[in-house]
Amino acid sequence: MDKIPVKKYFPALIGFSISMGVMVYVFMTLALYHSTIISPVIVGSQLAIPFGILASAVLLGENITSKKWIFIFTAFIGIIIIFFDPKLVDNFLGLFFASLMALSFALAQVYSRQLRNLDISLTNAFTGLFGFTILLIVSHFIEGETVSNIASISLNSWALISYQAIVVSLGAHLSMFYLYKFYTVGQIFPSYALFPIFGIGLTFMIFGEVPTFLFIIGSIIVISSVFLLHKIK
């Protein structure tokens, strides 16, 4: 096998590392910090799918049919309906950051499509190193006392961090990125619609969050739009 010309993929690798390794986790943390309930953040993250399809059209030249435009539009309508939920009065900022997280995640998926010829472990390692370095520097200048903060992390928190690193990053994300070697962004991303179904169910079982009528209607519109995006050509 010929040696892969690294320089050719370097811009996309940097773009992927920044969007996935830095921006996704920054906006995810801010979304959760500014939210009193988790369910809207889960549904808001579904905007990654229409964002991803739009980004794939702009950056990769993938075709978006008129039917896809309709369901992209309805997905955003669903999010707007959720915004009108009275229960979200103190969660608008969290939903806004969740939308930025979705945009960052969508860009990461598009960049990963451009990196499909690279070894997945190399891509993940570069992303982890790049993200860790940038976030460490940012934490030092914004929060200060970074080393002491790390040292004060409890064992329970380390367990959750380990779960995020091993199960989510190494397991789920690597599996998704592997699929981009064989399929387009538009074909893979809609499967991400299963995420809110599990997420909302878990928030109900663990935190006792009961969704309101507007939230249910908006969620159904978003999830249905995302599902139908996968079905149409």
Nearest to 177 by CA among 130, 222, 233, 124: 124
Tell me the residue ranges of DSSP E strands in the chain: none
First CA to last CA across the chain, in angstroms? 34
Q: Is the pLDDT of residue 226 over 50?
A: yes
Q: Are 225 and 72 in contact (CB under 8 A)?
A: yes
What's the whole-number average pLDDT of the chain?
77
Contacts 24+ apart (CB under 8 A), 169-172: 169/124, 169/128, 170/124
- How many C-beta neighbours within 10 Å does residue 59 have? 16
Tens of pLDDT along 111-153?
877 777 777 777 777 888 888 888 888 877 877 777 777 787 8
Query: In this prediction, what percent of the chain has a pLDDT beyond 70?
Result: 83
CA trace torsion 192, 197, 202, 208 (10° rounding): 140
Predicted confidence band at 5 (pLDDT cuts at 50, 70, 90)? Answer: very low
Overall average pLDDT of the 62-70 stretch: 80
Is residue 193 very low, low, confident or very high in pLDDT (cuts 50, 70, 90)?
low
Boundaries of every domain in the chain: 6-231
- For the chain, how many residues are written? 233
